[in-house]
Each structure stands twice: as structure tokens, then as C-alpha cells.
Chain A
Amino acid sequence: MITIKNITKAFDDRQILSGIEGEFKPGETSLIIGGSGTGKSVLLKCMIGLVQPDSGEVMYDGRNFLTSSLNDQKAIRREMGVLFQGSALFDSKSVLDNVRFPLDMLTDQPENEKLDRAMECLKRVGLEKAKDSMPSEISGGMKKRVGIARAIVLNPKYLFCDEPNSGLDPLTSAKIDELIGEITEEFKITTVVITHDMNSMMEIGEKIMFLYKGKKLWEGNSGTLTHSHIDELNEFINANKLIREMEK
């Protein structure tokens, strides 16, 4: 389980996050939603240690990530898988080498075991045939799937996805959502997804946290999302014409 307590962050005099609290449970896909510039990505970066918050705690199964020693932080990081917004695949490595990379760097497994595990993950995301392709030769949706394969190759306990659907067509987006949902359930991973995609919210939003101007305004699930009395949330949701039609 991941627990965040009172996370605040400011860049110069601009307050980005103010006292964010939340709990993310294993085997559950939790979404952090909100408009652009509300601090979703900064919150995610605080959680994975890419940005140091000004105050607050990030607990991974009771271990305080921010105050841990460098070695303890490394150990926690090795239990994380992260899918970045732009996939962040290494340009100079093939699809297979990208997936194998965490195994090469962080484990002492024999070569054949590493290869088997990387191929297993590529099969899981349906890309075993693209193993020899370079990242520049595959589509955006395929890159996301390779990113997911790389994120799960070390059997992570925690999976973070930063806007996994951005730049993808609705069909590919739905497939990515489905994959994230399945993996979360199958391996009992604590999954946190940053998104502003309404389909994702309705499909995989077992728990949803709404951020507005750096503050948590609402928490619920896909069932209660459309019934809140928070004006800012309703305005955010109703920006989507389809949802407006559905509500009518």
C-alpha cells in the first residue's frame, strides 16, 4: 500500500501542491485526475522521488521513502515500475533490450533467465514479434506497451503510469487501459495512474482522486464520479460532451 501525507510543493513562489493526502491499495487501480497544470504530474514525481516535496511523507508499505537512506530508497525504487508519458524508451536499444534493461542493471540472473523473462513480458503486452525493432520504428501505442513491459519486468509492487493514453486513438487507449487493469489485478500491484481521459476514469477508476489548483477536492470511484456536488469536478467532467449526453 502507498500512503501519502500532507504533500506540499512550490516552485519559486508558485504553490503547486497543497497538503495532498491519500491511500492507494494493492490490486486496485487508482486514478489521479484533474485539468492541465493542477499538479498531477508533480504529485506523481514526488511519489516516485523525481521531485523532492517541500513537506509531507510518502510511505511504501510503512517505509518512509523520503527520509530513507540512499540504499533503502534504491530498494524501494526496485519495487516500482513507471510508465512515462512519452514512454521514455532508450533510443539506442531495441525493444527487447529496453525490456531487458532493468534485469541487466538490477539483477544477477543468468542471461537465459533474463531473456525468458523479457520475452514473457513482451508476450504479455502482445509485442513478442517486435522484439528486434528499434523504438523509432514502432507506433506510439506500441511504445506505451513496451513501456508497460519494461515497467513490469521486475515484478513491481507499485506501478505508476503518467497519462498512459496521451496521444493515442480511442481503441489503442482502451487496450492500454485494459492491460493496466489486468496487470494490476493479476499481480496484485498498487497502481497509480495520472489521466484526464474520461474513458479511463469510467473503465479502470476503482479509486479516483480529483486535484484542482494543487489541492485534493474530491475522492471516490467511477460509480460516484458523476454524482458529486463539487462544482469544479462537475465542470471538469462535463467538459466532455459524451458525458453530458449520458447524464441527460
Chain B
Amino acid sequence: MSRIGNYFLFLGTLFRNREKLGVYLKLILDECTSIGVGSIFIVALVNTFIGAVTCVQTAYNLTNPFVPRNIIALIVRDSSILELAPTLSCIVLAGKVGSNIASELGTMRITEQVDALEVMGINSSSYLILPKVIASVLMFPLLVIMAGFLAILGGYIAGTLAGVITPEEYVSGLRFEYKPFGVVFALIKTVVFAFLVSTISAYQGYQVRGGALEVGAASTAAVTNSCIAIVAADFVLTQMLLT
């Protein structure tokens, strides 16, 4: 419980005694490049294959001849938009971005770079972490939009190449019973996940004391705690927004 309390106190330090806004602009752009552009490949790869697998597995399980084949596309669409793209992408990003944030801050801490900022009178937590949080909140939704699109595309390619669904059936399935709120729901979830991943990872890295071993442990804790927070928040948000 005390760690959760410390986490919330830590969040407060991000917004107190901030530097001038201009200072953050370049940092945010740099972080957007690192977090967003740097994660495109892995997010694209994972989601394309997940979409493909979802399509083929759904077709494999759909043995009832009375169920139309376009249902496969509907299942791929809804599972991709509602769950796979936001949740799975954010778990992948927790591994990539979260561990990077924790190890970067942890290394800065043990090599006294954080102390160097503090003695200059700079709020180190705000200067180092706030740009990462803002960049995550901006870039994760863009990555998730791309992830959702690629998952559906992956399903289309795999389904049509494997011959389990025709292109016409797939497109009609995608259009069938479409609820635009699904996309809004996915983006709300993603913003929450982005905040959780970036702040939990930053908290783990910023609190490091010791040496290389502790930096490694912080990096691991950042990923595991972020994943736990993602699945817990996923459940809470689904309960709140979809029921």
C-alpha cells in the first residue's frame, strides 16, 4: 500500500514546479519520435499476425453451416478494435517503451545525472518524465489506430489466402452491425494504458538506488507492474463503458 501511496505522491511531483513550457516542446517531440516512430515496426508486426491468427482460428471453430462466413470478419473486427489492438499493443509497448523508460531513468539515477539536474534547481522528475508521459499519451493512440487497421488487414489477407472467406464476405462482415463507439472505447482505454505504462515505468526507474542489478530489477518491475495495471484497468474500463 505504501508503494501505491508513493506512486501517487510521485505523480504530484511531475506537475509541481515545472520548467518553462518551451523547455518541454523539444523534449516532447524527441520522445514522440522515440516512443512512437520507434515502436511502429513491432506493433505493426504483432497486430498483423494477431489479426491473421484470429481470422483463421475463428474460421476453424466455425463449423455450423447455418452461421454465415462473414461473421468471421465481424469477430476479427470487434476483437481487434475492442481488445486486441488496444490491450495487446499496450502490453507490447509496456515491454518496449516501459522497460526503456525505467532503465534510462534508473541509469541516470545511479550515474548521478538526476542529482546533477537537482543541484541546478531543476525539477528532475518533471523535466525527465513529463515529456515521456505526454508523448506516450499522444503516440499510443496513433499506434493503436494503426494496430487495429493492420489486425483487420492481417485477417483479410490470411482469410482470403487460406480460402476460409471470400473478399466480399470479409468486407460485408466488416460493415455488418458496426458500432463507432468501439473505436472511441479503444482510444479511451489506450490513453489510460499509456498514462499507466509511462508513469509506472518512470516511477520504477526514478526510484532506483544501487547499481546495474537494481536497474535491471526496476526494468523488470516496470514491465510486470505495467502489464498488471493494464489488465486491471482494462476490466474496470470495460465494466464502466460497455455495460
Chain A: residues with CB nearer than 8 A to chain B? 48-50, 70, 73-75, 77-78, 80, 82, 84-86, 88-91, 102, 105-106
Contacts and interface: CB of A to CB of B under 8 A. Distances in A.
26 contacts: A49-B118, A49-B119, A50-B118, A50-B119, A70-B17, A74-B121, A77-B121, A78-B120, A78-B121, A80-B119, A82-B116, A82-B119, A84-B115, A85-B112, A86-B111, A88-B111, A88-B112, A88-B115, A88-B116, A90-B116, A91-B107, A91-B113, A105-B19, A105-B120, A106-B120, A106-B122
A199 B119 CA distance: 28
Nearest to B16: A70
Contacts of A73: 121
B4 to A, nearest CB: 23
B147 to A, nearest CB: 28
A74 B120 CA distance: 8
B243 to A, nearest CB: 45
Contacts of A84: 112, 115-116
Nearest to B116: A88
B206 to A, nearest CB: 15
B23 interface: yes
B51 to A, nearest CB: 36
Interface in B1-37: 17, 19, 23
Given A70-B17, A105-B23, A77 B113 contact: no
A34 to B, nearest CB: 20
A84 B118 CA distance: 12
Interface of B: 17, 19, 23, 107-108, 111-113, 115-116, 118-122
Nearest to B113: A88
Task: Please list the 10 inter-chain residue pairs (A to B) with the smallest Cβ-Cβ separation, ordered nearest first.
Answer: A77-B121, A88-B112, A74-B121, A88-B116, A84-B112, A82-B119, A88-B113, A48-B119, A50-B115, A86-B111
Nearest to A154: B120
A154 B116 CA distance: 14
Given A70-B17, A86-B111, A88-B111, A77 B120 contact: yes
B112 A106 contact: no
Contacts of A91: 107-108, 111, 113
Contacts of A88: 111-113, 115-116
A80 B115 CA distance: 13
Contacts of A75: 121
A148 to B, nearest CB: 13
| B19, B112, B115, B120 interface centre (most CB from chain A within 10 Å) | B120
A73 B17 CA distance: 13
A66 to B, nearest CB: 15
Nearest to A73: B121
B214 to A, nearest CB: 16
A2 B23 CA distance: 32
A77 B124 CA distance: 14
A44 to B, nearest CB: 10
Contacts of B17: 70
Contacts of B113: 88-91
B111 to A, nearest CB: 6
A82 B112 CA distance: 11
Contacts of B111: 86, 88, 91
Contacts of A50: 115, 118-119
Contacts of B120: 77-78, 102, 105-106
Nearest to A83: B116
A120 to B, nearest CB: 19
Nearest to A104: B23
B117 to A, nearest CB: 9
A80 B119 CA distance: 8
B119 A86 contact: no
B116 A105 contact: no
A112 B120 CA distance: 22
A91 B114 CA distance: 12
| B115, B116, B122 interface centre (most CB from chain A within 10 Å) | B116
Nearest to A101: B120
Contacts of A78: 120-121
